[in-house]
Amino acid sequence: MPRGTRGIITTAHSAIAATATSAAIALGDFPSIYVEVDLGATGTPNWTITVLGAFTSTGTFVALTDVNNVVMSTGALTADGGETFRGCPAFIKILATENSGTGTATVKVQPVDI
């Protein structure tokens, strides 16, 4: 697969209003993901998006860390955003945590080869 190849976009969460974990998302041969977060236009949203990973779809999903042992997370978001995470296993889940405030979050994931 050539570098820069992209996979199918998956909606992990659609306009959720409370903390939730997505279903397992298969990445196939893609080692990285792009995560896009669309916060609702109303309220005062404050969300953190964390990538969980496992070897199998029914395995134990744990928070992933990068090579510097930093959790693969967006940190607190109060506006729409996107981030790329590298070094993902075959299956991931997206944990969307409502830190405070009100409003919704929609989270989409696209596997990428970068």
Q: What is the pLDDT of residues 48-85, one digit of tens each?
A: 999 999 999 999 999 999 877 888 999 999 999 999 99
- Tokens in use for 44? 């005062």
**pLDDT of 24 above 80:** yes
Q: What is the pLDDT of residues 97-112, one digit of tens each?
A: 999 989 999 999 999 9
- Tokens in use for 65? 């860390």
pTM of the model: 0.93
Q: Spell out the domains of the chain, with CATH numbers in brackets.
A: 10-112 (2.60.120.1110)
- Tokens in use for 1? 């697969």
Q: Is the dihedral of CA 58, 111, 94, 51 positive or negative?
A: positive
Length of the chain equals 114
**pLDDT of 46 above 90:** yes
Q: What is the pLDDT of residues 47-57, one digit of tens each?
A: 999 999 999 99
Q: In this structure, how many other beta carbons lie within 10 angstroms of the beta carbon of residue 113?
A: 15
